[in-house]
Each structure stands twice: as C-alpha cells, then as structure tokens.
Chains A and B, each alone.
Chain A
Amino acid sequence: MDFLDNNLKEENMAFLDNSGDIILDAVLTDAGRQRMARGEFKIVKFAFCDEEINYTTYNGNHESGSAFADLEIMQTPILESFTNNTSLMKTKLISINRNNILYMPIFRLNNKSANGAEVHASNAGFYLSANTNTDNKTDFNTAGVLPFNTAKVIKTEHIYIDQGLDTGGNPAINSPIPADLMETAFLIRLDHRLLRLHRGIEGYSALSNSFVDDDSIASYYVSSTDAAVEPPIGPRDYNADDVADGTPTAREMFDGPLGNRLKLFLRSSTSLQSSDALFDELGTAVGNDTGFPLLAGQTVASYKHIDTVVNVVGVTSGYSIDIPVRILRTPN
C-alpha cells in the first residue's frame, strides 16, 4: 500500500534539493531523543556551522570580479541531517565583534621535548598503557607513551594543546594575542568507555565531565580559570628567554602571538584496566610485540590495542583538533 510507504522515514545521506526555495531540514539528534525520553529536553542556544564548505575554492582574484569569488562555494550541495549528535557541527561559525582581523588563532598539539609533551612517532599522538601489568612491560622512555600509573611518567609527562597565531614572526611571539581571540574555555570529547580525563599538571587530578551522551561520548568543559589551562604569561615567561636566545619556538608551537595552553593527561577506564572485552570488540589483537614500546628485558608475546581520538574544541575560536590515542593492553 503506497500510503504506508509515506510513513516510513528512511535515514539516508542524500543531498537536499537545492533547485527552489531555501529549505531547512530539521531533525532531533539521538541525544535529543534520549533527553526527551528522560524529560530533560530543553533547547537554550544555537550555533551555525559550515562543515560542507571548502574555503580553498574561494577565488578572491576571480577574473569576472569579486561577485564571483564564492561562486563555487555557493554551489556546494548540502547533505541531509545526520541524527548522530557527535557527527555534526564540527566547524562552527564564530562571532568576533570587529572586522579588521587577518589572523585567526588555531590549535597545535605541542610536540616539544623541552615541555615533556612529545608525541609518539607513529601516530603523531599518544600511546596509553591500560593497566599496571602493561606498565611493567612498557618503555616510558619512548616519546609519546603515557603510563597508567603516573608515578612511572618519564619522557612524555602530559598532553599540551597550544593556541596561537601562525604569523611567521610578524607579529612576533611576544606580542599579545588580541583579547577577543584568547580562548576562554575548552570543550573536550572522548569515549567514556575507554578514557578518563585528568589535568596534565602535578598530581594529575581528575576532571569531571559535564555529561555522557547516548553514544558514550563524555563531554568536559574546562574554563580558562581551571588549573589545566596555562596562560601565555606567568609560568610561560621563559618564552622571553627563548626569544632572547633567538629560539622563540624552542618550547612554543607558534612563531606568533600565543594564546592559552590546555594541559591534559589520560587514564584508561576501569573496563579497560580489568578486561579484554572492549579490546576484542573495538580493538586489534597483535600476535607479537610489533609496534609495542617494549621495555628492555621484557617480552610480550601478544597484545591488544584500541585506536581512538580525543577531540578538543575552543569555545572562543571554535577551532577543533583531534588527538590520536592508542590504548595498549598486554595479557595478564
């Protein structure tokens, strides 16, 4: 019966019809439906996003004039809505109350050994030991390898996410970043089944998440007043010495004005510490020690790992960075 077909709304990933009037295709996300079921559905704010747009197609020197500069952008076909709350709104539009800005702040994962923040060579992110047993087999002298037991920290002590302007030295690194471009807070999302978030400072105190959504993605909100956020002044005054030494980027990722630095540390969840179940479901089993940062004198006949990402978004700049993390677990 045809009329029944009309009632079956298929989830698909088609493009929206853009041949006529501009339409809005609105759906509740899975998290929205879950909150509705719990009686906690309340919309209080909105954001705009431009995730389909590729600004490299903007041609400011178009031969037909500036009116044609964004011709290709305006013809971009738009996908229908996803319902997965974490798959959307990746690149938000932001409001800055002035127009004379040429540089926007970005994030970079600090990879400076001088900061004890070096990343791992193979995934440009971090390896994380899941439990004490894995700690005992792991060489933490390898850059980018984080222990389960923080007392075993040797080489990579924390994860640094730096904000700054990549200006090539003009303005210089010791110039102040405009106040309206300084991050006021960070949103961090990670898989709550796998990871817990800690401050990357002495004591490695745990951070509390704001909520865990229906897909087990935990969201953390870290304001610039939190101990995990370091401003480009105070403890980071040594930049001045680096500048004086002619090595302004010895500890910094930008040769330009600096913003806040977010200092994090990761620990595995209780599930990962005690069981292989999630490794079997989400991870990979390796039948030898290939790729394992093996401690001298130890042997690992096999191990398992899960690859995941930690997403950090700046609340002021909207800039987003994904940090690759590989969680390792050896057999007990």
Chain B
Amino acid sequence: MSAGTFFKTFSSSDRTTTRTLLHEAIPITGTLVSGTYAQVGVPQRNANIKTYSHGMFQSVYDYPYLSSSANHIFDVTCGFSTNVDAGSQTSVSGTATVQVAKKVNIYNQMAQTLVGYDTNGSIRPFDQDGDLSAGTKIHNAVFLNFSRLLVKDEIKKGSFRLDLGVNSSSAAPFAGHDGMTYITDAGAETSYKVNSPAGEYGLLKSGSTNVGLIYYQAGIAVLTSSIAGASSSFGGIVADRVPETCLTSETIDVFADSFRHRISNVSFNNTTELNSTIYFCRANHNEFNYSSNPTYLTGSKIRVKNENILAPPKSYVTTVGLYSADNELLAVAKLSEPLRKDPSNELTLRVRLDY
C-alpha cells in the first residue's frame, strides 16, 4: 500500500473461496394443506388451494393465494403410464375414463424429466427401487412438486417425512392405531441413487416397503398410488375408494383434493449451497491510523493527539468498504462495535461475501 491513500489493494493471499451448505427445517402442517383456510361452500378446496382451468395440477399456498402475502408451497398432481412391463404395478390406464390423456401426459413429462430415456429413446417409467434394469415399476403415481422457495438448492437427504392418514374412513383419515403411515427417506444420507438425469434421488419407504422416490435437487416426491395398501380406502372426501379407482374415475383436481385431505404433516430440511469469497482486510501497524472524519480535527489539529505531536495517532474502524478498480463501492461490512487502530496494533478483518 502506498503511503497516504485510503485504499489498500488485495493481494492474492488476501482472498480465498469456500463452500458451505446451509440447512433450514421446513415443517408443513397438514391443516395448512387441507383445512386452515376453509371456504364456505367448497369444503374440499380451501382459499389457499389454487386450481387451473387446464386441470392438470393444483397448487398449495401458505395463505389465500389471491393475497400478495401468499407463498407457493407445493403442487399436487397424478398420472399413469401406458407402458406396462411384466411383473410391474398394473397401470390403470386401460380402465381410466377421466382426463386420461392429461394423466398420461403428466406421467410422461415427469418420467422423462426425472428418469430419462432408454437407449431406444423411449421414456423410462419410475422404478420403485431405483434399479432401472429390473424390478417393480411405478405406473400409477402421485407427484408432489415442492416450491423452489422451500427447497432452495435441494432437499437434504434423509430429512424427508410425509405423515399420511390411511384410515379406511375418508371422513376421519387419521383415526385409529393403524390410521397413519409414515413415509421417509431414512438412511438416504449414505444410500442414494445417481442414475437420474435430474440429479440425486432416494427411496421413500413406509416401514420397509418402497412406496416412492424423492428427487432431491428437483424437489419432487413421486409416490405410488398404492401407497395406502390395497385394503385401505383412499377416496378422501370424494368417496371411500381405493386410490387406483379414484385415479381412473376422478379428475386430477379431485384426486389431489383427496390426497391433500390425507396429509397430516410434511417436513424436510432444505439445503442452500453458499459459495463464499472471503477477503482478509489487513491493517499493518503503520496503516489506517489517521482519519478523514471532520470531527477528527479541530482546525487542522488532530484531536486525539491532545496537542502532543509525538503522541501516537488513533482511529476507530466501524466499516469496511470493498471497492472495484475504478473506486466504486461494491460491498460494505459493518462491525458491531468500533475497533481501535493505532501504531501499536495490527488488524485482520475477515469479510465473507456469499453468493
């Protein structure tokens, strides 16, 4: 640093970069998904549930969606494939009567994005254990697409949990000892799949049974429609019918209403990847000891010297400014309290900028 200036240029050793993962807990209560903002006359679809004229999915907000305060939480939709492999879950496409094309389109869109294509260019179906070469395929699926606002960069592996009411009575879906199933990706921190074009994914299990997939970077949970077990009713508020029946004979919106009605809680931790540049602002003993603060002087005389020319100068740092080559202030950092700087001390202030 040249004497007599207030800028000091960073050397290469004054700058380093780091990467930090930041996690936030995201609890979504079931009442928010299915009951907090009830509308008179539309009991199954509250004011925070947005539907669309195309009817291909519905969106859940944390507040009535017409309000500017509302935040998008997740979307619910469902679909089925038309390509049934031997030994797999039976697709209901052959018996479906309502919104068949749209449900197939939804399934294919999700599958091509999340599972990709085989070597012939055909869309691969979702696979229950992640082994695309064999095993049970998920041909009838429910999709929960979580908002980027919640997921941030990705869902933290091993943190996802969905509490689902599976009581046979759709009027009391959470009642009874066997009324709940808990779906998690437990163990995914150390055991996850990387054979998806959409990034990493884990297996969702209820107990030891595979019931779906969770795509961490995409923020999408894929659940088999037989999640509640064939013996459970899964008709929600529409009627006490098994999911497959509901999937064939109801619209996507009605299916989504039914599914939401069964959600008790959803929780996961999100992940934000912080890439940081750390600047070490070093003040040597002979630097930054004087101030241009107007109160520093009385006339032209330095106040803190107390009329003694031999007294050491003093200054007090409260702010660090980071500048471009042409002297534009690009970032600023404030200290929580003043730091004294005089010729008897040296300072290194570590300023971290996150991107």
Binding site for B on A (CB under 8 A): 1, 3-4, 6-7, 16-18, 21-29, 31-32, 35, 40-56, 58, 60-61, 69-70, 73-74, 76, 78-82, 85-86, 88-89, 91-97, 99-106, 164-168, 180-181, 184, 187, 210-211, 213, 219, 221, 254, 256, 314-320
Known: A7-B149, A24-B333. A88 touches B321 (CB 8 A): yes
Cβ–Cβ contact A94 & B288, under 8 A = yes
Q: Out of B25, B279, B326, which one reaches A211, CB within 8 Å?
A: B326
Q: Out of A3, A32, A49, A82, which one reaches B26, CB within 8 Å?
A: A3
Q: Out of A4, A18, A50, A99, which one reaches B317, CB within 8 Å?
A: A50
Q: Which of B89-97, B109-117, B190-198, B301-309 contacts the other chain?
A: B301-309
Known: A4-B62, A81-B333. A100 touches B304 (CB 8 A): no
Cβ–Cβ contact B24 & A50, under 8 A = no
Binding site for A on B (CB under 8 A): 1, 3-10, 24-28, 32, 62, 71, 149, 277, 279, 281, 283, 286-297, 299-310, 312-341, 343, 349-353
Known: A101-B290, A317-B292. A29 touches B319 (CB 8 A): no
Q: Out of B62, B288, B319, which one reaches A1, CB within 8 Å?
A: B62
Known: A1-B62, A55-B291, A166-B299. A49 touches B326 (CB 8 A): no
Q: Out of B277, B288, B294, B326, which one reaches A91, CB within 8 Å?
A: B294
Cβ–Cβ contact B4 & A61, under 8 A = no
Show 18 residue pairs from A and B whose CB-CB distance is below 8 angstroms, ordered by the A residue. Answer: A3-B25, A7-B149, A31-B330, A35-B330, A43-B353, A45-B323, A50-B317, A50-B319, A53-B295, A55-B291, A93-B292, A95-B5, A99-B289, A99-B312, A101-B290, A104-B290, A104-B300, A315-B7
Cβ–Cβ contact B292 & A92, under 8 A = yes
Q: Out of A23, A50, A60, A96, which one reaches B316, CB within 8 Å?
A: A50
Query: What chain B residues lie within 8 Å of A79 (beta carbons)?
Result: 334
Cβ–Cβ contact A104 & B3, under 8 A = no
Query: What chain B residues lie within 8 Å of A219 (beta carbons)?
Result: 326-328
Cβ–Cβ contact A1 & B330, under 8 A = no
Cβ–Cβ contact B323 & A28, under 8 A = no
Query: What chain A residues lie within 8 Å of B7 (beta carbons)?
Result: 45-47, 315
Query: What chain A residues lie within 8 Å of B32 (beta carbons)?
Result: 1
Q: Out of A78, A105, A210, which one reaches B338, CB within 8 Å?
A: A78
Query: What chain A residues lie within 8 Å of B320 (beta carbons)?
Result: 24, 26, 46-49
A316 and B2 CA atoms in complex are apart in Å by 10
Q: Which A residue's beta carbon lies closest to that of B309? A: A102
Known: A18-B336, A22-B336, A92-B292. A43 touches B300 (CB 8 A): no
A104 and B313 CA atoms in complex are apart in Å by 11
A302 and B7 CA atoms in complex are apart in Å by 47
Cβ–Cβ contact A43 & B4, under 8 A = no
Q: Out of A25, A26, A318, which one reaches B292, CB within 8 Å?
A: A318
Cβ–Cβ contact B10 & A92, under 8 A = no
Max count, chain A CB within 10 A of own CB: residue among B5, B289, B351: B5
Known: A16-B336, A95-B286. A103 touches B300 (CB 8 A): yes
- Smallest beta-carbon distance B352→chain A, Å: 6
Cβ–Cβ contact A256 & B295, under 8 A = no
Max count, chain A CB within 10 A of own CB: residue among B1, B308, B323, B331: B331
Known: A55-B304, A74-B340. A93 touches B6 (CB 8 A): yes
Cβ–Cβ contact B306 & A60, under 8 A = yes
Cβ–Cβ contact A25 & B5, under 8 A = no
Cβ–Cβ contact A94 & B5, under 8 A = yes
Cβ–Cβ contact A44 & B324, under 8 A = yes
Query: What chain B residues lie within 8 Å of A213 (beta carbons)?
Result: 328
Known: A26-B332, A32-B331, A35-B324. A47 touches B6 (CB 8 A): yes
Q: Which B residue's beta carbon lies closest to that of A213? A: B328
A219 and B7 CA atoms in complex are apart in Å by 16
Q: Out of B4, B277, B321, B330, which one reaches A316, CB within 8 Å?
A: B4
Max count, chain B CB within 10 A of own CB: residue among A40, A55, A167: A55
Max count, chain B CB within 10 A of own CB: residue among A7, A69, A80: A7
Query: What chain B residues lie within 8 Å of A314 (beta carbons)?
Result: 292
Cβ–Cβ contact A99 & B5, under 8 A = no
- Smallest beta-carbon distance B265→chain A, Å: 13
A81 and B331 CA atoms in complex are apart in Å by 10
Cβ–Cβ contact A44 & B323, under 8 A = yes
Known: A95-B3, A219-B326. A3 touches B317 (CB 8 A): no
**19 extra interface residue pairs, beta carbon distance < 8 Å, beyond A95-B8, A99-B343:** A16-B337, A23-B335, A47-B323, A48-B317, A49-B320, A50-B316, A50-B318, A70-B314, A80-B334, A85-B330, A91-B296, A93-B292, A99-B310, A102-B309, A104-B296, A105-B300, A187-B327, A210-B326, A315-B5
Query: What chain A residues lie within 8 Å of B350 (beta carbons)?
Result: 24
Cβ–Cβ contact B318 & A32, under 8 A = no
A88 and B318 CA atoms in complex are apart in Å by 11
A100 and B341 CA atoms in complex are apart in Å by 16
Cβ–Cβ contact A93 & B327, under 8 A = no
Query: What chain B residues lie within 8 Å of A99 (beta carbons)?
Result: 289, 310, 312-313, 343
Q: Which A residue's beta carbon lies closest to that of B310? A: A100
Cβ–Cβ contact B335 & A70, under 8 A = no
Query: What chain B residues lie within 8 Å of A23 (beta carbons)?
Result: 335-336
Cβ–Cβ contact A89 & B328, under 8 A = no
Cβ–Cβ contact B301 & A103, under 8 A = yes
Query: What chain A residues lie within 8 Å of B306 (beta carbons)?
Result: 60-61
Cβ–Cβ contact B334 & A24, under 8 A = yes
Query: What chain B residues lie within 8 Å of A80 (beta carbons)?
Result: 334
A102 and B304 CA atoms in complex are apart in Å by 10
Q: Out of B1, B149, B324, B338, which one reaches A53, CB within 8 Å?
A: B338
Max count, chain A CB within 10 A of own CB: residue among B3, B28, B324: B324
A4 and B32 CA atoms in complex are apart in Å by 14
A167 and B315 CA atoms in complex are apart in Å by 22
